[in-house]
Amino acid sequence: MVTGVEQTRFYHWSGSRFSPEVFGSQLSGLIEAAKKKTGKERVLYLCIGSDRSTGDSLGPLVGHQLCRMVPTGTLVLGTLRKPVHAVNLKATMDFIRSCCSNYLVVAVDASVGREDHVGGITLGLGSIRPGLGVCKKLQEVGDIYITGVVHSGDNLEPELLQSTRLALVMELAECISLGISCRNIF
C-alpha cells in the first residue's frame, strides 16, 4: 500500500500485464491520503464519457460495471444508461457540490496520448480536464483521476474517436473496474 503521498501518479498496462492488486493498493493509498488532506469521508466515482462514441465510452462502461459492485454509501455517476458528458457535466458538478460535499471524487475518463501509450492506464492524485483531447474546454474535475489511453494523436476530432476499437475500450474498462473492486475501494 502507498504510504503518504510519495508518488502521486502511477502507470499501468491493460491486458495480461495488468495487476488489479497493485492498482487497487495504489488507489487505496491515494484515497486515504486525499481523505486525510480534504477531510472527506466517502467516495464518489465520476465516470465521464458518452455511450455514443466508442472511444469516449470508457467512463460509462466503468460506471456500468461499478454499479453492480458498490456498497451502500458509495456513489457512481456516469453509466451507460445515464452518462455524464460535455452537455451535462456542469449540472453534475453542481449536484456534487451541493449534495455530495463530503464525497471524494474519483474521476474516470478516456484520454488520448502517444501511439505507444495506447492501452495504458494512468492513476493519480489531482483533477483532470475532460474533453481536452478533442478540443473541448470543460471544467477540471476530481480529487483523484483514472484515465485510459484509447487513441493516439494531438487534439483529435471527435469523429476520429469512432475508429477506436471497442475491444481496447472494453479491456481498459474491465481492468479499471477489477482494480477498483479487488480491494473494495469504496
For 138-181, the pLDDT digits (tens) are 678 899 999 999 988 765 666 677 778 999 999 999 999 999 99
Return the pLDDT at 3.
38
DSSP result, 22-39: HHHHHHHHHHHHHHHHH-
In terms of CATH architecture, what is 9-182? 3-Layer(aba) Sandwich (3.40)
> Beta partners for 172?
none
- The stretch 117-146 carries a mean pLDDT of 83
Say whether 184 sits in a helix, a strand or coil: coil
pLDDT tens for residues 100-112? 999 999 999 999 8
Return the pLDDT at 159.
67
Q: Tell whether the model's pLDDT for residue 84 goes beyond 70.
A: yes
Q: Tell whether the model's pLDDT for residue 9 goes beyond 90.
A: yes
E strand or H helix at 47, and its extent?
Answer: strand 42-47
Span of 72-76, 105-109, 129-133, 165-169 with lowest mean pLDDT: 129-133
Reading across the β-sheet that carries 42-47, which strands appear in turn? 9-13, 120-125, 144-152, 103-113, 42-47, 75-77
pLDDT tens for residues 14-51? 999 999 999 999 999 999 999 999 999 999 999 999 99
Return the pLDDT at 171.
97
Return the pLDDT at 2.
37
Return the pLDDT at 68.
86
